[in-house]
Amino acid sequence: MSAPTYDLGTLHGGLRLPARKSVSTRQPIVAMPVPAQLVLPITQHVGDPAEPIVGIGERVLKGQLIADTNSALGAPVHASSSGKVIAIEPWPVVRRFGENAPCIVVECDGRDESVQRADTAADFTTLAAEDLLGKILHGGIVGLGGAVFPTAQKLMQARTCEIDHLILNGVECESYISCDDLLMREHAEEIISGAQILMHALQIDRCFIAVESDKPEAVGKLAEVLGKINDDRIILKKVPTIYPSGGEDQLVQLVTNREVPSAGLPSDVGCLVQNVGTTAAIHDWVINNEPLISRVTTVTGDGVASPVNVRARIGTPIGEIIEMAGGYTDRAEQLIIGGPMTGKSITTDRVPLVKSTNCVLVSSKTPSPGPALPCIRCGDCASVCPVQLLPQQLFWYACADDEAKLRDFGLIDCIECGCCDLVCPSRIPLTADFRVAKGRIRELADEKARAARARQRFEARNDRLEREQARRESELAQQKAAAKKAGPTAIAEILKRRKPKNEDDE
Amino acid sequence: MEFRRREAPFLAPEVSVSSLMLQVLAALVPAAMAHVWFFGPGFILNLLIAAVFSVAGEALMLSLRGRKPETGLADYSVLVTAALLAFALPSLTPWWVTATGALFAVIVAKHLYGGLGYNIFNPAMAGYVVILVAFPMHVNLWVAPRMGDLDYQHLSILQTLYFTLTGSLADGITFDAISRATPLDVMKSGLNNARTAAEIRSIPIMGDFGGRGWEWIGNFLAFGGFWLLIRKIIRWQIPVGVGLGLLVPATIMYMADAGSHASPGFHLFSGATILCAFFIATDPVSAATSPKGRFVYGLGIGLLIYCIRRWGSYADGVAFAVLLMNMSVPAIDYLTRPHIVGHQRRSNRGEADG
């Protein structure tokens, strides 16, 4: 059975990247054994860190809550296996800024004992939408596509808008990455069940599952399961294999032909996008009571001996995952977490696997593009920009540090997909330059806000001083008036009282 | 294991400025061979002189500006400038004329504005206009094209070299014997002398469309241009814009009064129209940069070429049209920005946003 392709919207530009996925899709997902030590960062999502609620030396069980949060932008963390907390300390992690972040280090006892849960899984259709959201909130579930936004918050935000479409993102448009592909092939039921839970929680009755056309096995499996469960609210959509069609806003545009407004969210145009891995995790938590303690990740690149997809516990050191893929080869020269277009290069394999780690890419060094030449304004960058920006003009204004023009030409709408870098004949690192320019714009905005606050304070102080001055003057005027009323004798008396003082002065 | 940190993306770009420029040069080869066939070996001499002087000018300016000459020269852009200048010149051009154009193009039009990527004006056209103004008699001295039924006197390579070096013909050869007015000149002066276009077209040098020789060079240029289009080195907007900008008014005028106007086919195949559409106007640095802007830019060039040919005092107007539109680029770019996804569509302008 093949999936029908329904009318799709259009996406501007994009690139056909070398897929390089087949190296890691030859064998099914390999379950990774529990490592000797787990390193669990207390921040694995976008937002506020969770607070550790266990102490050093304490024994924890698999699935036990070890860091909790009551922040509006937080996600709890659970122990991925049973063992003893041996440290809560800074540890190297994958982050854009800085190297280390606080982590809870658990020494596993190898028994992998699960925590006993009081609440047995109920039929989710009998639960009220609020209760279902509350349940999801406690599962530590975050967006597994890479953005790692806490899922419960995303759902609650979506509930405040009029949502009519749930879109499952199974596009996975970056080169090398195949974890969602394999998940769809092997766990289509769970993914679709998770979608049904979300539709119930949000009270919507339309779901699109978007999968790239280069994943026929996944499409076939999803179509098969959909045919079996006969849920006509869910529609499978095959989308063209073009990077970056899996970007959230790009997918909304592709599937529904709606443009997510600048600085807005898909919910502004009635859409909620969830990664297929996220809905599978929702299924595991809501139906099977298993919080998010493991994920599928692709270990690939010419720097590992046998690329493979593994299901590993959150907190497993990357180095051990690479061992699962046969270890390093001679060509291992760079270690990238994520795909080759938007991934982050890291310096050490001591960093742990976290909820967002969809790919561990070990590769030979990218050939140096050589020194950047001047921009010749060929416009190839503009023709591939999925947001239809003019990178050649943005680059010009970024060099000139012209903040107004940068805003005018939509720098903040840049999704940093990297397409422009790949087609630039002058080899200008545009995306990196735009990242810096964005940072500077944010700084300038902060500075402006600070200056505005300082000015407000200054003006308030001036006002206060003026008011005091006025009050003093009016009091003086009142005293004078009172003295005048009292008559010349009173004045003479006052003067007499002040006279000795005057004489002293002279 | 420890690794070095680098910035995404980790895939390397496949294109480079030098490969773009080399492909543009490759696309010019068939037309260059046709040029030599029809107008003699002078083209090669011009090309060599233009290349030597523009490379020397580039190296001089790069070192004066404190850049490494070898990296600047490695992008081959200066050779494209030299080639375009050579195509614009008649095959008989004294070396100092070519040198003046090449040096002005590279030193003034390119490097005094900041070098590759920063020049406002198309360097080759700026250089050509300087020649047009400084040495007007030399740019009109075209030898007769090699065509079976045309009487022409073939100049040997030595005779051509003699003229190129000295600026005068070898003994026993006269200008009248070897040179012909270009088809555009014939058309212009003929129409000014109240002859009909059809009468003028019957002169053998006019060829089938735009003049013997010229129209074949045009065919080979178009061939190279289409190859560049297929390779996505250039985009369709500028060539189509130039074509429409020239042909629409030409067709309207021709249909209104065929007697006193040249046919659209003549406009397309004569002079430097095709060279301009595919190779000159498409210089990305001095052209508009947004897709819509490039179309407008091309339209403007085509329209100006028609106006100059029809009402101006020059027979061809490509160089002036290109330079005039170069000046308009900032305004065009500002007014033709594409719609940014997720932004409010700008409704204050009557354009259909794509």
Calpha distance B82→A65 (Å, rounded): 72
pLDDT for the residue B265? 87
| Pick from B11, B289, B343: CB nearest A377 | B289
Residue A501: per-residue pLDDT: 53
A158 strand-pairing partners: none
> Nearest CB to B13: which of A262, A410, A427?
A427
pLDDT of residue B58: 94
Are the beta carbons of A363 and B10 separated by less than 8 Å? yes
How many C-alpha atoms does A331 have within 13 Å on its Cβ side?
14
- CA B190 from centroid of its chain's CA atoms: 25
Q: How far is CA B31 from CA A65, A293, A333, B24, in A?
A: 75, 67, 47, 12
Residue B293 pLDDT: 94
The reported pTM is: 0.84
Q: Which residues does chain B have within 8 Å of residue A425's beta carbon, measured at their own beta carbons? A: 13, 15-17, 19-20
Question: Please, are residues B263 and B250 in contact by the beta-carbon 8 Å criterion?
Answer: yes
Tell me the three-class secondary structure of B233-282, residue by residue: CCCCHHHHHHHHHHHHHHHHHHHHCCCCCCCHHHHHHCCCHHHHHHHHCC
A387 contacts B340? CB cut-off 8 A: yes
A390 in contact with chain B, both atoms CB, cutoff 8 A = yes
Tally C-beta pairs within 8 A across A and B. Answer: 163
- Does the beta carbon of A328 lie under 8 angstroms from any beta carbon of chain B? yes
Q: Using the beta-carbon criterion (under 8 Å), do A424 and B2 form an inter-chain contact?
A: no
Tens of each residue's pLDDT in chain B, 354 residues: 778 777 778 888 888 899 999 999 999 999 999 999 888 889 999 999 999 999 999 999 999 998 888 877 888 999 999 999 999 999 889 999 999 999 999 999 999 999 999 999 999 999 999 999 999 888 877 887 877 555 666 778 888 888 888 888 877 777 777 777 788 888 888 888 878 877 787 777 777 776 778 888 999 999 999 999 999 999 999 999 999 999 999 999 999 988 888 888 888 888 789 999 999 999 999 999 989 999 999 999 999 999 999 888 888 889 999 999 999 999 999 999 998 988 876 544 444 443
Condensed to tens digits (0 to 9), the pLDDT of residues A285-322 reads: 888 888 999 999 999 999 999 999 999 999 999 999 99
- Put simply, the answer to whether B19 touches A410 (Cβ < 8 Å) is no
Q: Chain B: give the shortest CA distance to residue A291, in Å.
A: 31
Looking at CA atoms only, how far is residue B144 from chain A in angstroms?
38
More confident call, A337 vs A501? A337
Nearest neighbour of A341 by CB, restricted to B9, B285, B294 = B9
**Span A431-447, mean pLDDT?**
89
pLDDT tens column, A124-157:
777 788 888 888 888 888 888 877 788 888 888 8
The tokens of B150 are what?
Answer: 């045309």
The DSSP result for B7-27, as a single string, is PSP-SPP---HHHHHHHHHHH
Using alpha carbons only, give the angle A143, A155, A360 rounded to the nearest 5 degrees.
0
> What pLDDT does B353 receive?
40
ipTM given for this complex? 0.85
- A348:B2 CB<8 A: yes
Q: Is the pLDDT of residue A273 over 90?
A: yes
Neighbours of A30 (CB within 10 A): 14
How near does any CA of chain B get to the CA of A374, in Å? 6
Q: What would the pLDDT profile of A201-246 be if each residue is shown by its tens digit?
A: 888 889 999 999 899 999 999 999 999 988 889 999 999 899 899 8
> A463 CB contacts (<8 Å, ≥6 apart)?
none
Beta strands across the sheet bearing A65-68? A51-52, A65-68, A77-78
CB proximity list for A451: less than 8 A, separation 6 or greater: none
> B-chain residues within 8 Å CB-CB of A253?
341
Residue B135: C-alpha distances to residues A218, B45, B89, B167 (Å):
71, 18, 11, 12
B290 and A388 within 8 Å at the Cβ level: the answer is no
Closest partner residue to B9 (CB to CB) among A348, A392, A431 is A431
User: How near does any CA of chain B get to the CA of A287, in Å?
Assistant: 38
Q: Do A333 and B285 touch (CB under 8 A)?
A: no
Residues of chain B in contact with residue A175, where contact means CB-CB under 8 angstroms, are: 11
In whole angstroms, what is the distance from residue A168 CA to residue B116 CA? 47
| Predicted local confidence at residue B354, as pLDDT | 35
Structure token pair of residue B339: 């719609």
Measured distance CA(A173)–CA(A109) in Å, rounded: 39
Query: DSSP letters of B174-220?
Result: -HHHHEE--HHHHHHHHHHTT--HHHHHTSGGGTTTT-TTHHHHHHH
- Measured in angstroms, the CA of A345 and the nearest CA of chain B are apart by 5
Say whether residue A389 is in contact with chain B using an 8 A CB cutoff: yes
Residue A121 pLDDT class (50, 70, 90 cuts): low
Selecting from B11, B117, B343 the residue whose C-beta is nearest the C-beta of A262 gives B343
Please, how many CA atoms are within 13 Å of residue A445, restricted to the half-sphere of its CB? 10
Interface of B with A (CB under 8 A): 1-17, 19-20, 71, 75, 77, 115-118, 232, 235, 284-285, 287, 289-291, 294, 333, 337-343
Q: Shortest Cα distance from B17 to chain A (angstroms)? A: 5
pLDDT at A254 over 80: yes
Using CA atoms, how far apart are residues A436 and A401, in angstroms rounded to an integer?
11
pLDDT value of residue B350? 40
**How many Å from the N-terminal Cα to the C-terminal Cα in chain B?**
50
Give the per-residue SS3 of A214-260.
CCHHHHHHHHHHHHHHCCCCEEEEEECCCECCCCHHHHHHHHHCCCC
Give Cα B118 to chain centroid, integer Å.
Answer: 19
> In the predicted model, what is the mean pLDDT of residues A100-121?
83
Every domain of chain B and the residues it spans:
17-180, 185-336
Q: Which chain B residue shows the shortest CA-CA distance from A12?
A: B341
Q: How far is CA A446 from CA A24, A78, A400, A449, in A?
A: 45, 36, 20, 5
Structure tokens at B160: 């051509």
The token pair that represents B26 in the structure block:
């490759």
* pLDDT recorded at residue B150: 56
Task: Give the domains, in start order, of chain A with CATH numbers.
Answer: 22-313 (3.40.50.11540), 368-506 (1.10.1060)
Beta-carbon separation of A340 and B10 below 8 A: yes
